[in-house]
Amino acid sequence: MNKNILLCGVGGQGIVLTSKLTASCAMEKGMQIMSAETIGMAQKGGSVFSFLRIGEGIYCPMFGQKQADIMIAFEPAEAVRMLPYLRDGGTVIVNTHPIMPVTASLKASDYNGTEMLDYLRKYTDNVMAVDGDNVCRELGSPKVLNMVMLGEAIRSGILPFTIDDAVEAMKRNVKPQFVELNEKALRHNV
């Protein structure tokens, strides 16, 4: 069965690595996969997103609106921005902690993400809100949010691989000194 996966967030949250790990897991299972990332604004805290397609007969990494089976959103406003890509009945796994855009901070906005989460719940039936930042605090590093989110997506059952598959892919793609912490994040139940 084909799966369209959308990852989104802001620069520095680990979206590109999460995309790479997801692709690696699929390849290890012998699945066809294609991916495409938009990372131009990554260093400025701007929007970053990745399209992944797993399955047979895939000829393009991109997909249109209303075609994502799952959206893994690392930031609530980015989830709302990319919501048109989610198919009816699709699943959103969203980190509850907002990152205030530069424009909002310049205007002294009180953006806290709550309104974005409410919007997602109003327009999508399958929303899993994850307090990923709390898990990161428990584990002692904000840099493992991507592993927390990937772990939750795998546990949701919608991705065609296991936590053990993701751990093996992670071991192949991160520096050895970060393996233990990243594995804890992947295995942590939120």
The domain tally of the chain equals 1
The pLDDT tens digits of the residues spanning 112-152 come to 789 999 999 999 999 999 999 999 999 999 999 999 999 99
Q: What is the model's pLDDT at position 11?
A: 86
Lowest-pLDDT range, 70-84, 108-122, 142-156? 108-122
Q: Find the mean pLDDT for residues 100-104.
A: 60
Long-range contacts, stretch 63-68, CB < 8 angstroms, 24+ apart: 63/4, 67/4, 68/4, 68/5, 68/6
Q: What is the model's pLDDT at position 107?
A: 61
Burial of 93 (0-12, 13-18, 19+ CB in 10 A): buried
Sequence-distant (≥ 6) Cβ neighbours of residue 162 within 8 angstroms:
154
Which has the closest alpha carbon to 15: 60, 66, 79, 85?
79
Contact by Cβ (8 Å): 45, 61: no
pTM above 0.95, yes or no: no
The pLDDT tens digits of the residues spanning 8-58 come to 998 889 999 999 999 999 999 999 999 998 865 545 568 889 999 999 989
Token pair 């992944």 in the structure block, residue:
52
Between 106 and 39, whose confidence is greater? 39
Structural domain of 32? 3-187
Is pLDDT of 103 > 60? no
Cα distances from 97 to residues 57, 120, 142, 177, 178, in angstroms, run: 37, 14, 12, 27, 23
| Residues above pLDDT 90, as percent of the chain | 79
| CATH at residue 62 | 3.40.920.10
